[in-house]
Amino acid sequence: MSAVGFFGGTFNPVHIGHLRAALDCLDALNLDQIALLPAASPPLKEAPLVAAEQRAEMLQLAVSGTAGLTVDCRELSRPGLSYTVDTLAELRSEYPKDTSITFVIGMDSLINLHQWHEWPRLFDLANIAIMARPGVSPTLDSDVKRAVESRTCLPDEIRSRPAGGVTFVDQPPLDVSSTAVRSALMRGKNVQFLLPEAVIEYIVTNKLYDSSNTDHRGGH
């Protein structure tokens, strides 16, 4: 039986917090692979100024050469808002019934889960793995809390469940966010080591996030 993970996000831009979370999840849940899944049009965030295609290209650069990590661009070719429930329904229909499919989210996303389109259906379609997020304390909506508590299982049980399990993955905290990276770039700060070198080069070359006149690897 195979086991695959999908890690959704805006990735505007991808940073080491995302990449370490994906690798820690891959390892803790013993998955065959995790695909990073950029949202074309995230329902609960402002429309990102950087095009979905460019966010996806940065992801491709970020995972290139890393065993077990891939990028899945299916949401980019779907019109309208990028609802996770539609993506998981599509994935469920593509994989054999006994494949373990796990959707990975950060704790900040779990806190908002009750606002997600058709959120209770997510549990029918996949397992949910929740990553800790620095500074985010888990006060959950009561319906979400009940749903999570009744489905909680150990990380090593996920591989044998096609869907319906919820597990928590411990991760050494990395207090970095795309918001902080964007803000640093706009203020001309050095962002080296917060995101892969190839992604920094892409940002500078394409003049994203107001980065046109600063050397973000300069260290000054």
CB 204 to ligand ATP: min, Å: 19
Q: 15 and 194 in contact (C-beta within 8 Å)?
A: yes
- Binding region for ligand ATP (CB under 6 A) out of 58-66, 69-77, 103-111, 112-120: 103-111
- Strand 3-9: give its sheet, edge to edge: 69-71, 33-38, 3-9, 100-106, 127-131, 166-169
| Minimum CB–partner distance for residue 52 and ligand ATP (Å) | 12
# residues near ligand ATP by CB under 6 A:
18
Closest separation in Å from C-beta 220 to ligand ATP: 26
Kindly tell me which residue out of 131, 163, 191, 208 binds ligand ATP, with binding defined by CB under 6 A.
131
Report the C-alpha gap between 192 and 168 in whole angstroms.
30
Q: What are the two backbone dihedrals, phi and then psi, of residue 23, each rounded to the nearest 5 degrees?
A: -70, -40
- Is the Cβ of residue 37 or residue 125 nearer to ligand ATP in the bound state? 37
8 Å CB contact between 31 and 4 = yes
**Other beta carbons within 10 Å of 210:** 14
What's the closest the beta carbon of residue 181 comes to ligand ATP, in angstroms? Answer: 8
Q: Going residue by residue from 135 to 174, which x/- string records binding to ligand ATP, judged by CB under 6 A?
A: ---------------------------------------x
Q: How far, in Å, are 4, 58, 90, 215 from residue 78 at the CA level?
A: 22, 20, 11, 36
Dist CA 131 CA 26 (whole Å): 12
Residues 2-41, mask of contacts with ligand ATP (x by CB under 6 A)? -------xxxx----xx--x--------------------
Are 125 and 85 spatial neighbours (Cβ–Cβ below 8 Å)? yes
In the complex, the smallest distance separating the C-beta of residue 165 from ligand ATP, rounded to whole angstroms, is 18
Select from 133, 162, 166, 195 the one that contacts ligand ATP (CB under 6 A): 133
Residues belonging to the chain? 220
> Nearest residue by C-beta to ligand ATP?
106
CA distance 112 to 203: 30
Euclidean distance between CA atoms 17 and 171, whole angstroms = 10
CB 151 within 8 A of CB 166: yes
105 binds ligand ATP (CB under 6 A): yes
Q: Does 106 bind ligand ATP (CB under 6 A)?
A: yes
**Residue 211 makes contact with ligand ATP by CB under 6 A:** no
**Footprint of ligand ATP (CB under 6 A):** 9-12, 17-18, 21, 105-106, 108-109, 131, 133, 174, 176-179
